[in-house]
Structure formats: C-alpha cells, structure tokens
C-alpha cells in the first residue's frame, strides 16, 4: 500500500447548508477511515470543518481516498484542503498546559492583532479563539497552549509564563480592556459560589457620601456625629463606621437603618447577583460593615450567605455603642469563606472571589477565579481586573455567553 | 445530651417523642401541604424544633404538624427555658389590602357584635392595647381605633384570635388580600409606613407567655400566625438524617446517637444579622457543619 495514506487532515470551508457534516463523515466511513479529531463550526452562514482521519485500516489506495474526498468540493460547493499528516505531529500528545484568556471591554480596532502578537512573542500557541460578545462591547475567549512558552527575560518556563501574564495585563490595560487569565484546570472546575467583598466592590461610590450625610443627620438630634473623613482604601467607609461605633451610643437602631436606605449597589452588581442566582450559583456577601446599614441590601438581594458586624442594642432598641461578638474583621473573611466551603462541601477551586485585592480581600487568594475591582497599588495578584461598572463581565469569565445573558435578562424581566 | 450555652440561655439538643409536642397554634394548610411534600423528598432535617421544657412548640409549628402527619415517631428539638429573658414574644400583624373603607370595616365589626373606639394617634392606640391583651387595634388611613368584642365572646387569647380569624376571613371573602407582617414593621417607633384608605392594618391581641402556656396545656390552639417567638440564639444546619426518626428505637438510644452525631460536627458561632442558606437571622446563631475529614460511617 502507498506509504503516506495513514493519517490525513481534511479541512473544508464554504456556505453552510443542511447535511454537510453527515455527507463528509459518511464519505469517510465509506472509505474505511477512522476520525481521530474533529472540529466544526458554523458562524453567520459560513461553515468550516477540520478532521484528522486515520486510513491505516482502509483497503482503498491513497489516490482513491484523495479523489473521493476531493469530489466533496464539487458535490457541496465547499473549498476542500487535504493534507497527509506527519505521524510524529499527530502522535504528539495534546498540549498539557493551557490557560484560558478572556479579554473584555469597549470594542476598538487592533485588539486581537495586539494580543495575538504578544502571545506569539512568548511562543504561546492560540489553539482556539471565539468571540463571546461583539458590538460596542467586545469579549473574546482564547485557549492558549503554554507548554512551550519562553521569554527573553527569563530562562525558566514558569517565570516566562508569569512574565507573559503580566505583559498581557499591561497590554490590555493600555488597550483599555479587562483581561482574565485562568488555568484550564481551574476553568474546567465548575464554579459553585461567587463571593463578594461588599464595601469595595458592590456599593456604588456616589451613594456612600449621601449615606454618611444621612447617618450624621439621623444621629445629630442625639448629639452625635461621626467624623466625616474616610479611610483611604475603597470601602474604607465601612471601617470608619466600625472604628467610631461608640458614636452611635444611645441612638435608636431604627434611625440608623433608615440612614442605610441611602446606600445603593451598582446597577451592574444588582443585575449580576440576580443572573448568578437565576443560573444556580450560590452568592455570598462578606462585609466588616454594620448590619443596620446592610440588612436591607442583604434581604433584598437574596444572597445565600451574607456576613457583617452587628451593632449591639439594648431592650429599647438603642445602640449600646458596642459590637456583637464575634467581631468580623478583614482577616476573618477568609475564615468565613472556609466555613461556607465546608457547609457547601466545595473546594477552593469552585469559588469565584471578587474583592479589591487589598489586605481586606485575602479570601481571594488561591480560589478558582479571583477578580480584583479597582485594585490599589500593591494589591494581591488576581486572575482578572475589572472596574466596578464592568461587574457583569464576570459572567463571561464563567463561560456564559452574551446570548445566555440576554436569555436570563429576559427571564428576569418576565 | 448535647447542650449549647449562649450566655444565660442554655439550649438542650435532644430527641423527643413526636406525640409529646404541644402545638399552640393552628397551621396554615398550604404551608403544611408544601412542607409535607418537601419532607417526603428531604433526606435531612436542617434545624431542630424549638420547644420549652414542657414541649410546647415555640418555633417549628408546621414542621411538627408535618412530622406527626407523616407518621414519624421522634423528632429533634432544641429545648429552652420559655420564661428566660432571652425569649421574646412578638406578634404577626395583619394587613388587609382592598377593604371597602371605614364604612365597610364598621359594618363587619357591627355584624360581629364588636365595637370601635376611636383614638387620636399611634401612641394612644398602643397605650390602650397595653391595658387589655384581648383588645385589637385597627388603622385605616388616618383613622385609628381600638377593636373590642363582648367579653362573653372573647374571654381569652384563643377566643380573641378566633374572632380575628373570623373577621379577616370575612374580609378576604369580600375581596381583601391578607398579608402577615411582623408587629414592629407597623408599630415601630420610627415606622413611616401608614396604611392607605383601602388598607386595613390590624394590631393583633398582645397575648402573654402565660396565656400561651395555659392554652397549650389545655390542648387549645390559637389561630394561625398568632405568636412570633424571638429567641436570642438558635442552633441551625444540624442536617440530621430524617429516616432516623421513623425508627422504632428507644429514646435513650436515639439521644445517644443524636449527641454523637452532633459531637462529630464542627460548630461556629455568629452574632445576629447574618444570612445563612438564604435566610436572615436576627439572632445569634450556632451553625453546625461537617468536618471535612469525617466519613459517613463515623457519624
């Protein structure tokens, strides 16, 4: 038998029509071929297919096989390309190490070109690439084989990979895009729970000033006032209130709850929480703030878990100026996440954590997917960086497409 | 036995015979039916029923009813001292939306041989209700009144709630929509929620713990949604296998097994104001959860 007939690649592209896959695969069967690999897609009326076929067991000659497969071109109108594959290449195992890169942001020309050039510079191979959203908003997901990554700066592959990720983040920041880089192993692990740091990620910044004014208005008749200066880091307002909790001594807690009505979540955050719940994810909200301000939000958003500090009150319902024990601190948040994981019987890989990457967000470390919202300098490393108004984009990083989101939006509205 | 101390409040977790539990309140049929269906499929009971020393059910009335209906022999409870200062008794107020104004209310009250005594404001209404736990309050727009029935008809708390139940059923039949709301939602000092001209708010009789104990001891039950017990602390998430409670085992054996089961779990305490498994807890909670290293055969 001819020497090169064993493994052939078959690629075809053209206008889509019903029955193409059936026609091609039946022809392969008739020729005694065994399909080793297949990838087919149909986008905007265009059809493409790739097959790797083993003809080792076929009784037909190579010429016969080629002629028969080429006839598909005339029969279907597809453009067909046939190649005999290098057995060594075919026999090589699939790349063992992949990362999944999701790029998201406002669309602009050149994003794909710049990202792919950078990956090429590090010898990372783009194995698949798909658009999740295209329009004013752009989202692209790429599976990158990184086992052969190298860098001019670092000799070790691990360091080179780290360098590539940092460069990719810098590039995306320059292109005004968010980027999330997940290991394939972590991405494949189904996520079960999404944990948010409430004050740094979910609360609308503009509402905080209104809220603090409302607090002072409510406590002024009782001769109380909280210092207006805020802790510098995002969400520092919650710590300000906890630090000055004795200022609430004697104030009816109901007054404070009324002030809490000024505190608002980002519009995107509200929608994100709703879609996550609709899709079956558990949602946990972690805060070191005070329950009298957060209770309304906790109840309204239907979180599965929500934790915060509680203002101690006397029998008349007035604040004593102390907190109920145990007091939750930034470092407690990770313990609470561990507790939730135990209750839910899930591993850290199944957790998505969203925080600001500061010391108060240590629970983000070593989870399946970590997203930092507006991280300050020196923030903990995260898989992705978003601004607060891009919160909804977290869904894309969970493999949820624009069409899925539209469907869940419709379901919510109806 | 397994006990948890939350300050002065001691919570004894144990297993008791289902038939010894004494409900003090009727169940809402639709809630009981739903719960019965759920229990048929549930493998675990998440939270124990909260009872007093004499097995009067303080929290878990519907679960108790369903346990009895489904033929369970035993049930896990959390036993507390009802008269502890850490156990509060509050009420469910009623909102009836779509009533036919003051005229319609007066007609119903008159036909039921009751009377309305107008008061000027909420503090006056609250003060009048303090004087007699069998009085009720009504609010309709800016009108507030004490609602009372002849003493020969309404002679105790159970009878007061029966009268209330009859009145609200009648209004529902006439097209009103009934909603139960925690008492502080309407009567709170800072409350700004005022019923409109077509929404009747009923401040329910402020029965006492003694009245609850007395009724339960005589086998009497209040109308549904009469009491709302606030316990300062509670154990949750015990997740005990429901099948255990169908077994024909001695109480001693069941309690040993239950205590060992709980001892094998981790427990974490949280202050009030947390949400666990989608439920907001305004009280201190002790959450049980499985040790990661434990195996089912160790439980």
pLDDT by residue for chain A (414 residues), tens only, comes to 444 457 899 999 999 998 899 999 999 999 999 988 888 888 888 999 999 898 988 999 989 999 999 999 999 999 999 988 776 666 555 656 889 998 888 888 888 889 999 999 999 999 888 877 667 777 888 999 998 898 888 888 899 999 999 899 889 888 888 888 988 877 777 888 999 998 888 888 888 888 888 888 888 888 888 876 655 566 677 888 888 888 889 888 888 888 888 888 887 888 888 888 888 899 999 998 888 888 878 777 788 999 999 888 888 888 999 998 888 888 889 999 999 999 998 999 899 999 887 766 788 888 999 988 877 666 667 888 876 667 788 888 887 877 788 877 776 655
For chain B, say whether A338 makes contact (Cβ under 8 Å).
no
Asked, colleague to colleague, whether B2-86+232-298 and B90-216 share their fold, the answer is no
Q: What are phi and psi of B280, to 5 degrees?
A: -85, 130
Closest among A157, A176, A49 to A104, alpha carbons compared: A176
Q: Tell me whether residue A160 is in a domain.
A: yes
Closest-CA residue of chain B to A289: B273
Are residues A233 and A381 both part of a single domain? yes
ipTM: 0.75
Q: What is the distance in angstroms between the Cα of B95 and the nearest Cα belonging to chain A? A: 21
CA dist B28 and B221 (Å) reads 13
Do A164 and A269 lie in one domain? The reply is no
| Residues 6+ away with beta carbon under 8 Å from A292 | A253, A256, A257, A260, A311, A319
What kind of fold does domain B2-86+232-298 have according to CATH?
3.90.1530
Do residues A216 and A268 make contact, with C-beta atoms less than 8 angstroms apart?
no
Is A301 found in the same domain as A198? yes
Side-chain-side CA neighbours of residue A307 (13 Å): 25
Residues shown for chain A: 414
pLDDT of residue B52: 96
Neighboring chain B residues of A327 at a CB cutoff of 8 Å: 271
Identify the pLDDT of residue B190. 40
pLDDT of B58:
95
Contact B290 A339 (CB under 8 A): no
Q: Is A302 on the interface with B (CB under 8 A)?
A: yes
Tokens (6 digits) for B55: 């097995």
Establish if A219 touches chain B: CB-CB under 8 angstroms.
Answer: no
B262 Cα distance to chain centroid: 26
Q: B266 in contact with A at a CB cutoff of 8 Å? A: yes
Name the residue ranges covered by the structural domains of chain B: 2-86+232-298, 90-216
| pLDDT at res. B137 | 94
Burial class of B147 by CB neighbour count within 10 A (0 to 12, 13 to 18, 19+): buried
Angstrom distance (rounded) from CA A265 to CA A201:
9
| Residue A2 in domain | no
Confirm whether A1 is domain-assigned. no
- Domain final position from A152, A171, A188: A188
**Do A65 and A125 belong together in one domain?**
no
Record: contact B290-A345, CB cut-off 8 A: yes
Q: For residues B47 and B45, give the distance between their C-alpha atoms in angstroms, rounded to a whole number.
A: 6
- Say whether both A151 and A287 belong to one domain: no
**Residue A354 within a domain:** yes
Token pair, residue B33, equals 């039916």
Task: Answer yes or no: do B270 and A302 touch at CB < 8 A.
Answer: no
**R_g of chain A, CA atoms, integer Å:** 28
Q: Which residues of chain A have a CB within 8 Å of the CB of B185? A: none
Q: By C-alpha distance, which of A49, A45, A50 is closest to A16? A: A45
Q: Are residues A77 and A156 in the same domain?
A: no
Q: B276 in contact with A at a CB cutoff of 8 Å?
A: yes
User: How far apart are the C-alpha atoms of A375 and A200, rounded to whole Å?
Assistant: 9
Q: Which residues span the domain enclosing A56?
A: 7-91
User: Distance between CA atoms of A213 and A259, rounded to whole angstroms?
Assistant: 9
Q: What CATH number should be reported for the domain holding residue A110?
A: 3.30.70.260
What sign for the dihedral angle of Cα A373, A378, A380, A381? positive
* A15/A58 same-domain check: yes
Pick the CATH number of B90-216 from 1.10.3470, 3.30.110, 3.30.1760, 1.20.120: 3.30.1760
Mark yes or no for CB contact B271/A298 under 8 Å.
no
Gap between the Cα atoms of A310 and A90, Å rounded: 62
Q: Pick from A258, A295, A326: which is nearest to B271 by CB? A: A326
CA A308 to chain CA mean position, Å: 25
Q: Which of B275, B278, B290 to mutate to test the interface with A (most CBs of A within 10 A)?
A: B275
Query: Mapped to the 3 state alphabet, what secondary structure does chain B carry?
Result: CEEEEECCEEEEEEEEEHHHCECCECCCHHHHHHHHHHHHHCCEECCCEEEECCCEEEECHHHHHHHHHCCCCEEEEEEECCCCCCEEEEEEEEEEECCCHHHHHHHHHHHCCCEEEEECCHHHHHHHHHHCCCCEEEEECCEEEEEECCCCCCCCHHHHHHHHHHHHHHHHHCCCEEEEEEHHHHHCCCCCCCCCCCEEEEECCCCCHHHHHHHHHCCCCECCCCEEEEECEEEECCCEEHHHHHCCCCHHHHHHHHHHHHHCEEEEEECCCEEECCEEECCEEEEEEECCCCCHHHC
pLDDT of residue A306: 92
pLDDT number for residue B233: 95
Confirm if B59 and B283 have CB atoms less than 8 A apart: no
The one-digit pLDDT tens for each residue of chain B (299 residues) are 899 999 899 999 999 999 999 999 999 888 888 888 887 777 889 999 999 999 999 999 999 999 999 999 999 999 999 999 999 998 899 999 988 888 888 998 999 999 999 999 888 998 999 999 999 999 998 899 999 999 888 999 999 999 999 999 999 998 999 999 887 666 554 444 566 778 999 999 989 999 999 999 999 999 999 999 999 999 999 999 999 999 999 999 999 999 999 999 999 999 988 999 888 898 999 999 986 643 333 33
The answer to whether B284 contacts chain A (CB < 8 Å) is yes
Q: Best mutation site among B182, B188, B273, B282 for testing chain A: the one with the most A CBs within 10 Å?
A: B273
Q: Within this chain, do residues A215 and A293 fall inside the same structural domain, yes or no?
A: yes
- CB of A228 within 8 Å of a chain B CB? The answer is no
Nearest-CB residue to A255 (from B190, B274, B292): B190
Local structure of A68: helix, strand or coil: helix
Q: For testing the chain B interface, which of A343, A346, A347 should be mutated: the one with the most B CBs within 10 Å?
A: A343
Question: Structurally, how many domains does chain A consist of?
Answer: 3
Shared-domain flag, residues A173 and A243: no
Going by C-alpha positions, the residue among A146, A109, A108 that lies closest to residue A126 is: A146
Q: Which residues pair with A99 in a beta bridge?
A: A144, A183
Instruction: Record the tokens describing residue B43, joined without a space.
Output: 């493998």
């Amino acid at each position: 038998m001819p020497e090169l007939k064993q493994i052939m690649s078959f690629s075809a592209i053209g206008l889509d029509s019903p029955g193409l896959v059936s026609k091609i695969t039946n022809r392969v069967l008739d020729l005694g071929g065994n399909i080793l690999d297949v990838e087919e897609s149909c986008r905007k009326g265009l059809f493409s297919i790739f097959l790797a076929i083993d003809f080792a067991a076929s009784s037909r000659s190579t010429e016969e096989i080629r002629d028969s497969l080429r006839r598909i071109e005339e029969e279907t109108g597809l453009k067909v390309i046939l190649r005999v594959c290098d057995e060594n290449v075919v026999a090589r195992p699939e790349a063992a190490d992949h990362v999944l890169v999701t790029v998201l942001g406002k669309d602009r020309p050149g994003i794909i070109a710049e990202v792919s050039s950078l990956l090429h510079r590090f010898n990372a191979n783009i194995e698949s690439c798909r658009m999740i959203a295209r329009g004013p908003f752009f989202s692209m997901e790429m599976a990158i084989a990184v086992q052969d990554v190298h860098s001019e700066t670092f000799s070790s592959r691990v360091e080179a990979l780290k360098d590539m990720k940092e460069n990719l983040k810098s590039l995306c920041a320059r292109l005004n895009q968010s980027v999330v880089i997940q290991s394939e192993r972590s991405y494949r692990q189904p996520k079960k729970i999404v944990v948010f740091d409430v004050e740094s990620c979910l609360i609308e910044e503009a509402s905080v000033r209104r809220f603090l004014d409302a607090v002072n208005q409510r406590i002024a008749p009782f001769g109380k006032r909280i210092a207006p200066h805020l802790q510098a880091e995002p969400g520092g307002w919650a710590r300000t209130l906890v630090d000055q909790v004795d200022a609430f001594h004697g104030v009816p807690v109901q007054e404070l709850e009324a002030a809490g009505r000024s505190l608002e979540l980002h519009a995107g955050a509200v929608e994100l929480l709703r879609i996550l719940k609709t899709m079956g994810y558990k949602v946990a909200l972690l805060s070191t703030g005070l329950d009298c301000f957060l209770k309304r939000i906790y109840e309204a958003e239907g979180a599965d878990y929500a934790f915060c500090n509680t203002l101690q009150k006397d029998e008349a319902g007035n604040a004593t100026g102390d907190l109920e024990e145990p007091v939750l601190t930034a470092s407690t948040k990770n313990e609470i996440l561990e507790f939730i994981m135990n209750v839910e019987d899930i591993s850290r890989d199944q957790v998505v954590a969203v925080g600001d990457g500061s010391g108060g967000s240590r629970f983000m470390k070593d989870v399946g997917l970590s997203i930092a919202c507006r991280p300050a300098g020196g923030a903990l490393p995260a898989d992705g960086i978003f601004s607060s108004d891009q919160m909804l984009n977290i869904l894309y990083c969970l493999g949820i497409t624009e069409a899925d989101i539209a469907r869940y939006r419709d379901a919510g509205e109806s | 036995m397994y006990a948890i101390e939350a300050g002065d409040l001691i919570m004894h977790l144990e297993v008791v015979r289902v038939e010894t539990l004494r409900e003090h309140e009727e169940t809402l049929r639709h809630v009981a039916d739903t719960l019965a269906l759920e229990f048929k499929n549930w493998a675990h009971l998440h939270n124990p029923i909260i009872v007093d020393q004499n097995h009067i059910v303080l929290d878990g009335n519907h679960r108790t009813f369903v346990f009895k209906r489904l033929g369970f022999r035993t049930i896990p409870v959390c036993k507390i001292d009802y008269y502890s200062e850490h156990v509060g008794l509050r009420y469910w107020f009623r909102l009836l939306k779509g009533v036919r104004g003051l005229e319609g209310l007066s007609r119903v009250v008159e036909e039921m041989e009751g009377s309305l005594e107008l008061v000027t404001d909420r503090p006056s209404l609250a003060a009048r209700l303090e004087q007699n736990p069998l009085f009720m309050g009504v609010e309709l727009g800016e009108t507030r009144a004490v609602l009372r029935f002849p003493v020969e008809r309404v002679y105790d708390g159970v009878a007061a709630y029966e009268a209330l139940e009859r009145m609200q059923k009648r209004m529902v039949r006439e097209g009103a929509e009934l909603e139960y709301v925690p008492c502080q939602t309407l009567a709170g000092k800072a409350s700004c929620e005022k019923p409109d001209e077509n929404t009747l708010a009923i401040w329910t009789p402020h029965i006492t713990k003694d009245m609850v104990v007395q009724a339960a001891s005589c086998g009497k039950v209040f109308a549904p949604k009469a009491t709302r017990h606030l316990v300062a602390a509670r154990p949750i998430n015990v997740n005990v296998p429901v099948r255990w409670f169908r077994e024909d085992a001695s109480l001693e054996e069941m309690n040993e097994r239950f205590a060992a089961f709980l001892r094998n779990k981790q427990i974490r305490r949280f202050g009030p104001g947390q949400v666990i498994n989608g439920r907001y807890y305004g009280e201190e909670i002790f959450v049980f959860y499985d040790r990661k290293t434990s195996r089912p055969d160790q439980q």
